[in-house]
Amino acid sequence: MPTVAVFIGTRRGLFVARAGPDRLGWSVSPPMLAGREIYHASCDPRTGIVWACSAHRVWGAHLHRSVDGGHTWDTLATAPHHADERGLHAVWQIAPGANEQPDELWAGIQPAGLFVSRDGGGSWLAVDALNEHPTSASWQPAGGALALHSIHVGPGGRVLCAISAGGVYRSDDRAVTWHPINSGVRAAFLPSPRAVAGQCVHRLIAFPRDPARVYQQNHCGVYRSDDGGDNWIEITDGLPSDFGYAAASDPRDTDSLFVVPEESSHMRTVVDGRLRVFATRDAGRSWRTISSGLPQANAWVSVLRDGLAADELEPTGLYLGTSGGHVFASNDADEHWRMIAGFLPRILCVYAATFEEGRPPG
């Protein structure tokens, strides 16, 4: 019988909520990797290894690996980092490489940089073609620092990355060459609102089975691309704000997107103090609110860029983590929410994985 595990990264460690396939009766672990800020956690579907990225003001930034579904953890001896004075503040994402190369991993870090490992995280190489791109002079720290936070490795050597604030970049030749793909994306904070690069992307969603469809939640709106990012169409109309961090999608439905609008960049909490998830099933042409079970008054919380996630079960489950330390789950195609954990430290990320009979996939 499958077990659903929701990895909850917080300012003070990693918690794991577990339930059966009905996604009811959740149990929550004590904190693991205690005292560390957990920026990202995910499971590599090729190997079943669960990864976590942490930072600590004394111990520094590290990568952690679990081979038993997140019950126990090892800390790797090395982490990707710039070889110059930029160094490493935090690892923001670990992404699996090509299916035919199970030892290939990609990492995005702060200060913004892309790195690749060919030996399962034992060593890392800087992707200088992106890190030193001619447009990198336009990159600047955003409210959440200057970081490369979204990586998607697709078929045919395609790699997509997003930088805040720097924009979306794509390589079509396995990271040998890169070009910015930000056409149609507003950047109201720049001297040229239609700049080639420098946009503040908060979350990037891509689909391995349909590389043409991409979404992004941006500092200045929500966007869809139907051509792999060459052109972007704004789909903010119907949302109460053009600002937000989090986004997720049903992995089986490329027309689906879920976002959590927030007040302007000055406030950065949910609009009107109402914790609402907005859903589209027609690629952003229309939106509806899915909020049953979520607090609708005096909920002055934020949902950060990795604070909304979907599982791969049928119907799709959704998971939402707030800055107030509460985690909500929906197990019925996004119609009703239940709190599955509360009073945790500030939540930085959530990620859902399914394990067969308590063992990792892969």
Determine the distance from the C-alpha atom of residue 73 to the mean position of all C-alpha atoms in its chain, rounded to a whole number. 21
What integer pLDDT is reported at residue 330 of this predicted model? 96
DSSP β-ladder status, 2-10 and 347-356: antiparallel
Whether the pLDDT of residue 267 is over 50: the answer is: yes
What integer pLDDT is reported at residue 189 of this predicted model? 86
Helices in the chain by DSSP H: which ranges? 128-131
Instruction: Give the C-alpha separation, 298 to 8, whole Å.
Output: 24
CATH code, residues 2-356: 2.130.10.10
Q: Could you write out the DSSP letters of every residue in 184-198?
A: T---TTSSSTT-SS-
pLDDT band at 334 (very low <50, low <70, confident <90, very high): low
What integer pLDDT is reported at residue 359 of this predicted model? 53
Instruction: Give the C-alpha separation, 103 to 105, whole Å.
Output: 6
User: In the predicted model, what is the mean pLDDT of residues 206-218?
Assistant: 95
pLDDT band at 357 (very low <50, low <70, confident <90, very high): low
Whether the pLDDT of residue 206 is over 90: the answer is: yes
What integer pLDDT is reported at residue 97 of this predicted model? 95
List pLDDT tens digits, range 87-120.
999 999 999 999 889 999 999 999 999 999 999 9
DSSP β-ladder status, 147-153 and 125-126: unpaired
What integer pLDDT is reported at residue 172 of this predicted model? 97
What integer pLDDT is reported at residue 362 of this predicted model? 47
Quick one: what percent of the chain has pLDDT higher than 90? 89
What integer pLDDT is reported at residue 123 of this predicted model? 97
pLDDT band at 188 (very low <50, low <70, confident <90, very high): confident
List pLDDT tens digits, range 29-62.
999 999 999 999 999 999 999 999 999 999 999 9
The pLDDT mean for the chain works out to 95
What integer pLDDT is reported at residue 21 of this predicted model? 92
List pLDDT tens digits, range 305-324.
999 999 999 999 999 999 99
Residue 176 CB partners (closer than 8 Å, separation 6+): 129
The side-by-side arrangement of strands in the sheet containing 288-290 is 243-248, 257-262, 277-280, 288-290
What integer pLDDT is reported at residue 273 of this predicted model? 96
List pLDDT tens digits, range 164-185.
999 999 999 999 999 999 999 9
Residues 201 and 186: beta-carbon distance below 8 Å: no
